[in-house]
Amino acid sequence: MAVLVNGGAGFIGSHTCVELLNAGEDIVVFDNFYNSNPQVLDGIRKITGRDFKFYEADMLEMSSIDDIFDENDIEQVIHFAGYKSVPESVKHPLKYYSNNLRGTFNILETMKKYGCTKFIFSSSATVYGIPETVPVKEDFPLSAINPYGSTKLIIENLCREMYTANNAWTFILLRYFNPVGAHKSGLIGEDPGNQPNNLMPLVLDKATGKRDVLQITGDDYPTRDGTCIRDYIHVVDLAKGHVSAVKKARELENGCKAYNLGTGRGYSVKEILDTFQRVNNIDLGYTIGPRREGDAAECYSDPSLAEKELGWKAELGIEDMCRDAWNFRRNKLI
Protein backbone atom coordinates (compact mmCIF):
# COMPACT_ATOMS: atom_id res chain seq x y z
CA MET A 1 0.00 0.00 0.00
CA ALA A 2 1.37 3.42 -0.92
CA VAL A 3 0.59 7.07 -0.41
CA LEU A 4 0.13 8.83 -3.75
CA VAL A 5 1.70 12.29 -3.70
CA ASN A 6 0.24 14.41 -6.48
CA GLY A 7 2.51 17.41 -7.05
CA GLY A 8 5.33 15.69 -5.21
CA ALA A 9 8.10 17.56 -7.03
CA GLY A 10 6.84 20.96 -5.86
CA PHE A 11 8.02 23.00 -2.89
CA ILE A 12 5.81 21.54 -0.18
CA GLY A 13 5.31 18.24 -2.01
CA SER A 14 9.03 17.45 -2.21
CA HIS A 15 9.63 18.14 1.47
CA THR A 16 6.62 16.00 2.30
CA CYS A 17 8.02 13.12 0.20
CA VAL A 18 11.23 13.33 2.25
CA GLU A 19 9.40 13.21 5.58
CA LEU A 20 7.10 10.38 4.42
CA LEU A 21 10.07 8.30 3.26
CA ASN A 22 11.96 9.08 6.48
CA ALA A 23 8.90 7.89 8.40
CA GLY A 24 9.01 4.55 6.53
CA GLU A 25 6.02 5.19 4.26
CA ASP A 26 5.94 3.88 0.69
CA ILE A 27 5.10 6.58 -1.80
CA VAL A 28 4.20 6.94 -5.46
CA VAL A 29 4.80 10.42 -6.82
CA PHE A 30 3.32 12.19 -9.77
CA ASP A 31 3.94 15.61 -11.18
CA ASN A 32 3.94 17.32 -14.58
CA PHE A 33 6.88 19.61 -13.66
CA TYR A 34 4.79 22.69 -14.40
CA ASN A 35 6.39 24.51 -11.50
CA SER A 36 9.25 22.15 -10.63
CA ASN A 37 11.96 20.06 -12.25
CA PRO A 38 13.24 16.47 -12.31
CA GLN A 39 16.37 17.29 -10.23
CA VAL A 40 14.08 17.59 -7.23
CA LEU A 41 13.49 13.83 -7.40
CA ASP A 42 17.24 13.19 -7.17
CA GLY A 43 17.34 15.51 -4.16
CA ILE A 44 14.61 13.51 -2.42
CA ARG A 45 16.44 10.23 -3.16
CA LYS A 46 19.77 11.61 -1.99
CA ILE A 47 18.42 12.97 1.28
CA THR A 48 16.48 9.84 2.21
CA GLY A 49 18.57 7.11 0.57
CA ARG A 50 15.27 5.61 -0.61
CA ASP A 51 13.73 5.12 -4.01
CA PHE A 52 10.13 5.50 -5.13
CA LYS A 53 8.03 5.21 -8.24
CA PHE A 54 7.56 8.42 -10.21
CA TYR A 55 5.09 9.26 -12.99
CA GLU A 56 5.49 12.34 -15.14
CA ALA A 57 1.82 12.91 -15.75
CA ASP A 58 -0.81 15.59 -15.89
CA MET A 59 -3.81 15.42 -13.61
CA LEU A 60 -5.96 16.77 -16.44
CA GLU A 61 -5.43 13.48 -18.29
CA MET A 62 -7.81 11.04 -16.72
CA SER A 63 -6.12 8.06 -18.39
CA SER A 64 -2.77 8.89 -16.75
CA ILE A 65 -4.32 8.94 -13.30
CA ASP A 66 -6.16 5.73 -14.05
CA ASP A 67 -2.87 4.05 -15.02
CA ILE A 68 -1.31 5.08 -11.70
CA PHE A 69 -4.18 3.57 -9.72
CA ASP A 70 -4.24 0.51 -11.94
CA GLU A 71 -0.52 -0.18 -11.51
CA ASN A 72 -0.24 0.58 -7.79
CA ASP A 73 -2.06 -0.18 -4.58
CA ILE A 74 -2.89 3.36 -3.47
CA GLU A 75 -4.07 3.63 0.12
CA GLN A 76 -4.45 7.42 0.27
CA VAL A 77 -3.76 10.54 -1.75
CA ILE A 78 -2.07 13.79 -0.79
CA HIS A 79 -3.19 16.35 -3.33
CA PHE A 80 -0.71 19.23 -3.74
CA ALA A 81 -0.85 19.85 -7.48
CA GLY A 82 -2.36 23.13 -8.58
CA TYR A 83 -1.58 26.64 -9.72
CA LYS A 84 -0.78 28.89 -6.79
CA SER A 85 -0.09 32.48 -7.71
CA VAL A 86 -2.69 34.89 -6.34
CA PRO A 87 -1.97 37.76 -8.80
CA GLU A 88 -1.90 35.38 -11.78
CA SER A 89 -5.23 33.91 -10.67
CA VAL A 90 -6.75 37.40 -10.67
CA LYS A 91 -5.59 37.91 -14.27
CA HIS A 92 -6.50 34.41 -15.47
CA PRO A 93 -9.38 33.05 -13.39
CA LEU A 94 -10.45 30.47 -15.96
CA LYS A 95 -6.95 29.01 -16.10
CA TYR A 96 -7.04 28.56 -12.31
CA TYR A 97 -10.55 27.16 -12.07
CA SER A 98 -9.97 24.91 -15.03
CA ASN A 99 -6.70 23.37 -13.87
CA ASN A 100 -7.19 23.26 -10.11
CA LEU A 101 -10.78 22.08 -10.15
CA ARG A 102 -10.68 19.71 -13.11
CA GLY A 103 -7.50 18.12 -11.80
CA THR A 104 -9.12 17.55 -8.41
CA PHE A 105 -12.30 16.14 -9.96
CA ASN A 106 -10.19 13.68 -11.95
CA ILE A 107 -8.31 12.52 -8.87
CA LEU A 108 -11.47 12.10 -6.81
CA GLU A 109 -13.33 10.31 -9.62
CA THR A 110 -10.44 7.88 -10.01
CA MET A 111 -10.19 7.33 -6.26
CA LYS A 112 -13.89 6.52 -6.24
CA LYS A 113 -13.49 4.08 -9.11
CA TYR A 114 -10.68 2.24 -7.30
CA GLY A 115 -12.27 2.37 -3.84
CA CYS A 116 -9.57 4.63 -2.40
CA THR A 117 -11.29 6.83 0.18
CA LYS A 118 -8.61 8.81 2.01
CA PHE A 119 -7.83 12.26 0.62
CA ILE A 120 -5.51 14.85 2.17
CA PHE A 121 -5.89 18.27 0.62
CA SER A 122 -3.35 21.05 0.40
CA SER A 123 -5.60 23.92 1.42
CA SER A 124 -4.59 27.37 2.58
CA ALA A 125 -5.28 30.03 5.15
CA THR A 126 -6.63 31.96 2.17
CA VAL A 127 -9.97 30.22 2.86
CA TYR A 128 -10.41 32.56 5.86
CA GLY A 129 -10.45 35.59 3.50
CA ILE A 130 -9.49 38.63 5.58
CA PRO A 131 -9.96 37.31 9.12
CA GLU A 132 -11.75 39.63 11.52
CA THR A 133 -9.68 38.56 14.50
CA VAL A 134 -6.48 36.63 15.20
CA PRO A 135 -5.42 33.97 15.99
CA VAL A 136 -7.44 32.24 13.31
CA LYS A 137 -9.32 29.10 14.33
CA GLU A 138 -10.68 26.38 12.07
CA ASP A 139 -14.31 27.30 12.79
CA PHE A 140 -13.92 30.91 11.60
CA PRO A 141 -16.13 31.96 8.65
CA LEU A 142 -14.75 30.99 5.26
CA SER A 143 -14.63 33.18 2.17
CA ALA A 144 -12.66 33.62 -1.02
CA ILE A 145 -11.10 36.95 -1.99
CA ASN A 146 -9.44 35.93 -5.26
CA PRO A 147 -9.79 33.11 -7.83
CA TYR A 148 -6.94 31.12 -6.29
CA GLY A 149 -8.76 31.26 -2.96
CA SER A 150 -12.02 30.33 -4.68
CA THR A 151 -10.49 27.12 -6.00
CA LYS A 152 -9.28 26.17 -2.51
CA LEU A 153 -12.66 26.92 -0.98
CA ILE A 154 -14.61 25.08 -3.70
CA ILE A 155 -12.49 21.98 -3.21
CA GLU A 156 -12.92 22.17 0.57
CA ASN A 157 -16.69 22.50 0.10
CA LEU A 158 -16.71 19.58 -2.30
CA CYS A 159 -14.92 17.42 0.28
CA ARG A 160 -17.43 18.38 2.98
CA GLU A 161 -20.35 17.66 0.66
CA MET A 162 -18.91 14.35 -0.53
CA TYR A 163 -18.47 13.32 3.08
CA THR A 164 -22.06 14.27 3.92
CA ALA A 165 -23.31 12.27 0.94
CA ASN A 166 -21.20 9.22 1.66
CA ASN A 167 -19.40 9.03 4.93
CA ALA A 168 -17.12 6.22 3.87
CA TRP A 169 -14.64 8.96 2.86
CA THR A 170 -11.89 10.45 5.01
CA PHE A 171 -10.96 14.02 4.09
CA ILE A 172 -8.24 15.97 5.84
CA LEU A 173 -8.01 19.61 4.81
CA LEU A 174 -4.68 21.15 5.76
CA ARG A 175 -4.75 24.94 5.84
CA TYR A 176 -1.22 26.23 5.43
CA PHE A 177 -0.16 29.63 6.65
CA ASN A 178 3.06 31.05 5.08
CA PRO A 179 5.49 28.23 4.20
CA VAL A 180 9.13 29.28 3.86
CA GLY A 181 12.59 27.74 4.35
CA ALA A 182 14.09 24.65 2.77
CA HIS A 183 15.55 21.28 3.71
CA LYS A 184 18.75 21.84 5.66
CA SER A 185 20.76 19.79 3.14
CA GLY A 186 20.20 22.59 0.62
CA LEU A 187 19.20 19.93 -1.94
CA ILE A 188 15.52 20.87 -2.18
CA GLY A 189 13.75 24.17 -1.62
CA GLU A 190 11.49 26.74 -3.21
CA ASP A 191 12.03 27.49 -6.87
CA PRO A 192 9.27 29.83 -7.98
CA GLY A 193 10.76 30.68 -11.39
CA ASN A 194 11.09 34.18 -12.71
CA GLN A 195 8.01 35.84 -11.32
CA PRO A 196 7.90 35.30 -7.61
CA ASN A 197 5.37 37.27 -5.62
CA ASN A 198 5.73 35.85 -2.12
CA LEU A 199 7.98 37.58 0.35
CA MET A 200 10.78 35.01 0.84
CA PRO A 201 11.47 34.29 -2.86
CA LEU A 202 11.61 38.05 -3.43
CA VAL A 203 14.07 38.39 -0.54
CA LEU A 204 16.23 35.63 -2.02
CA ASP A 205 16.19 37.27 -5.45
CA LYS A 206 17.33 40.54 -3.88
CA ALA A 207 20.04 38.78 -1.88
CA THR A 208 21.49 37.17 -5.03
CA GLY A 209 21.28 40.40 -7.04
CA LYS A 210 18.69 38.92 -9.41
CA ARG A 211 16.34 41.72 -8.35
CA ASP A 212 17.20 45.37 -7.82
CA VAL A 213 14.43 46.45 -5.50
CA LEU A 214 12.89 44.88 -2.42
CA GLN A 215 10.03 46.83 -0.93
CA ILE A 216 8.05 46.38 2.22
CA THR A 217 4.53 46.83 0.94
CA GLY A 218 3.21 49.25 3.54
CA ASP A 219 4.46 50.32 6.96
CA ASP A 220 1.33 52.12 8.13
CA TYR A 221 -0.67 49.10 9.31
CA PRO A 222 -1.97 48.99 12.90
CA THR A 223 0.76 46.51 13.99
CA ARG A 224 3.76 46.80 16.34
CA ASP A 225 6.10 48.19 13.67
CA GLY A 226 3.53 49.18 11.03
CA THR A 227 4.29 46.23 8.69
CA CYS A 228 1.98 43.24 8.13
CA ILE A 229 2.13 40.22 10.39
CA ARG A 230 2.04 36.66 9.10
CA ASP A 231 2.50 33.15 10.47
CA TYR A 232 5.63 31.91 8.67
CA ILE A 233 6.13 28.16 8.99
CA HIS A 234 9.24 26.16 8.10
CA VAL A 235 8.45 23.87 5.18
CA VAL A 236 10.00 20.89 7.00
CA ASP A 237 7.58 21.39 9.90
CA LEU A 238 4.76 21.69 7.40
CA ALA A 239 5.88 18.47 5.70
CA LYS A 240 5.88 16.67 9.04
CA GLY A 241 2.29 17.84 9.51
CA HIS A 242 1.41 15.77 6.43
CA VAL A 243 3.00 12.66 7.91
CA SER A 244 0.80 13.15 10.98
CA ALA A 245 -2.22 13.65 8.72
CA VAL A 246 -1.49 10.40 6.85
CA LYS A 247 -1.41 8.56 10.18
CA LYS A 248 -4.60 10.28 11.28
CA ALA A 249 -6.37 9.35 8.03
CA ARG A 250 -5.34 5.75 8.64
CA GLU A 251 -6.63 5.84 12.20
CA LEU A 252 -9.93 7.51 11.39
CA GLU A 253 -12.59 5.21 9.96
CA ASN A 254 -13.99 8.22 8.16
CA GLY A 255 -14.49 11.95 8.63
CA CYS A 256 -13.90 15.38 7.18
CA LYS A 257 -11.58 17.50 9.29
CA ALA A 258 -9.77 20.80 8.71
CA TYR A 259 -6.55 21.73 10.49
CA ASN A 260 -4.46 24.89 10.58
CA LEU A 261 -0.80 24.22 9.97
CA GLY A 262 1.02 27.24 11.36
CA THR A 263 3.25 28.09 14.30
CA GLY A 264 0.73 30.26 16.13
CA ARG A 265 3.26 33.11 16.17
CA GLY A 266 3.11 36.14 13.96
CA TYR A 267 6.15 37.99 12.64
CA SER A 268 6.13 41.30 10.82
CA VAL A 269 7.67 41.78 7.38
CA LYS A 270 10.31 43.97 8.99
CA GLU A 271 11.14 41.28 11.55
CA ILE A 272 11.57 38.73 8.77
CA LEU A 273 13.84 40.99 6.74
CA ASP A 274 15.93 41.98 9.75
CA THR A 275 16.28 38.34 10.86
CA PHE A 276 17.29 37.33 7.34
CA GLN A 277 19.97 40.02 7.28
CA ARG A 278 21.28 39.12 10.72
CA VAL A 279 21.47 35.31 10.42
CA ASN A 280 22.90 35.38 6.89
CA ASN A 281 25.04 38.47 7.31
CA ILE A 282 23.57 40.07 4.20
CA ASP A 283 22.45 43.64 3.68
CA LEU A 284 19.20 43.49 1.73
CA GLY A 285 18.93 47.24 1.19
CA TYR A 286 15.14 47.16 1.29
CA THR A 287 12.88 50.18 1.00
CA ILE A 288 9.34 51.02 2.08
CA GLY A 289 6.68 51.08 -0.62
CA PRO A 290 2.92 51.53 -0.76
CA ARG A 291 0.45 48.95 0.56
CA ARG A 292 -0.36 45.97 -1.62
CA GLU A 293 -4.07 45.67 -2.39
CA GLY A 294 -6.03 43.12 -0.36
CA ASP A 295 -3.47 42.51 2.41
CA ALA A 296 -4.71 41.83 5.93
CA ALA A 297 -2.74 43.64 8.64
CA GLU A 298 -2.42 40.47 10.70
CA CYS A 299 -2.96 36.80 9.96
CA TYR A 300 -1.68 34.03 12.19
CA SER A 301 -3.04 30.70 13.25
CA ASP A 302 -4.27 29.01 16.34
CA PRO A 303 -2.59 25.63 15.67
CA SER A 304 -3.87 23.96 18.86
CA LEU A 305 -6.35 21.66 17.09
CA ALA A 306 -3.57 20.09 15.01
CA GLU A 307 -1.52 19.64 18.16
CA LYS A 308 -4.42 18.02 19.99
CA GLU A 309 -5.74 15.77 17.20
CA LEU A 310 -2.74 15.18 14.94
CA GLY A 311 -0.10 15.25 17.67
CA TRP A 312 1.84 17.74 15.52
CA LYS A 313 3.50 21.00 16.44
CA ALA A 314 5.87 23.26 14.51
CA GLU A 315 9.34 23.26 16.03
CA LEU A 316 11.56 25.46 13.88
CA GLY A 317 11.79 29.22 14.23
CA ILE A 318 12.27 32.15 11.87
CA GLU A 319 16.04 32.01 12.18
CA ASP A 320 15.99 28.44 10.81
CA MET A 321 13.57 29.53 8.08
CA CYS A 322 15.79 32.42 6.95
CA ARG A 323 19.02 30.43 7.20
CA ASP A 324 17.73 27.36 5.36
CA ALA A 325 16.02 29.37 2.61
CA TRP A 326 19.29 31.18 1.89
CA ASN A 327 21.35 27.98 2.14
CA PHE A 328 19.24 26.39 -0.62
CA ARG A 329 19.41 29.42 -2.88
CA ARG A 330 23.14 29.89 -2.32
CA ASN A 331 23.72 26.23 -3.18
CA LYS A 332 22.04 26.78 -6.54
CA LEU A 333 24.46 29.58 -7.34
CA ILE A 334 27.53 27.41 -6.86
The one catalytic residue in 83, 96, 128, 148 is: 148
Binding mask 43-62 for ligand UFG (x = CB under 6 A): --------------------
State how far the Cα of 319 lies from the Cα of 317, in Å rounded to an integer: 5
Inter-residue contact 121 to 155 (CB < 8 Å) = yes
- Binding ligand UFG (rule: CB under 6 A), the pick from 15, 79, 118, 230 is 230
User: Under 8 Å CB-to-CB from 194, ≥6 apart: which residues?
Assistant: none
178 contacts ligand UFG (rule: CB under 6 A): yes
Q: Can you list the positions of beta strands (E) in the chain?
A: 2-6, 27-31, 53-56, 74-79, 118-124, 170-176, 178-180, 215-217, 229-230, 232-234, 255-261, 267-268, 287-289, 298-299
104 contacts ligand UFG (rule: CB under 6 A): no
End-to-end CA distance of the chain: 39
Closest contact distance (angstroms) between CB of 126 and ligand UFG is: 3
- Binding ligand UFG (rule: CB under 6 A), the pick from 66, 274, 295, 307 is 295
* Contact window for ligand UFG (CB under 6 A) among 160-168, 211-219, 240-248, 323-331: 211-219
Nearer to ligand UFG, 48 or 198 (CB): 198
Identify residues 265-284 at the interface with ligand UFG (CB under 6 A): 269
Residue 291 is given by DSSP the state P
- Binding ligand UFG (rule: CB under 6 A), the pick from 44, 47, 116, 125 is 125
- Binding ligand UFG (rule: CB under 6 A), the pick from 21, 81, 159, 228 is 228
State how far the Cα of 121 lies from the Cα of 152, in Å rounded to an integer: 9
Instruction: Give the three-state DSSP class for 120.
Output: strand
State how far the Cα of 58 lies from the Cα of 34, in Å rounded to an integer: 9
Where in the sequence numbering do the catalytic residues fall? 148
Interface residues with ligand UFG (CB under 6 A) are 86, 124-126, 177-178, 197-199, 202, 215-217, 228, 230, 269, 292, 295
